[in-house]
Structure 1
């Protein structure tokens, strides 16, 4: 089923799943989705750790519904334009990240690398878990991998 940008943006569920339209980018929608996650992260980073994590957990739970519903409506399991999962994955990467733009850039690069590379077990879950959870889980795991590497870099510097 082909859906126009207008139809995506006029449906609140699809608009959120498509990252407020960032997933409509003709090339590299996941990267564009992650780019839009950055200013949202800057806003979220004003929260203390516990509320930040709570927002990320809620965004994950909501994302299971948003992504699953949008995939069902579009008739495509993991449509490339669905980028809410990139938002959540990047926000996971940035949990307790050191302050400063350098760390945002490092987190962005690490998350994109793990999301594209999909090392074990990310690729397994990406291929074997269906529905909204399946769409979300690989980016959550990529975010966890990127979080661990980001924290290791911060520890060693």
Structure 2
């Protein structure tokens, strides 16, 4: 039996949720807190989402969407345009390259993998920012941001796994 319009619309909306959740995390990342300098050390929440969904639902987090999410992050944070787009695409590329390794592994393997991939993303961010501003950028802020991002991974991985069980179980 052919699905009705509403069933197709429901499926389409469910398939958009990984990208939509990542966009919400981009916005959450730039919510004003009125604490001076906090933006430099807040976790990069969209990086967690790109990593998670690239493992569990890679077909729902396509590269063009990751690129646009990165540009959106750059536009809202004031970072050089393309910085986060390149970093998010690099993270997605590494995860997709190692997809067979990550499939079926425990949470701790995913967390360790995120720690390693996140370290590469932090180094790439530091290198690109240093090259863009033609000076050695302070590594302490990026290192602390990396630690905060890795520390936030379990909470968001739990939220995403529950979301996946509740809304994406039909795939």
Smaller-chain TM-score bracket: 0.3 to 0.5
TM-score by length of 2: 0.39
TM-score by length of 1: 0.41
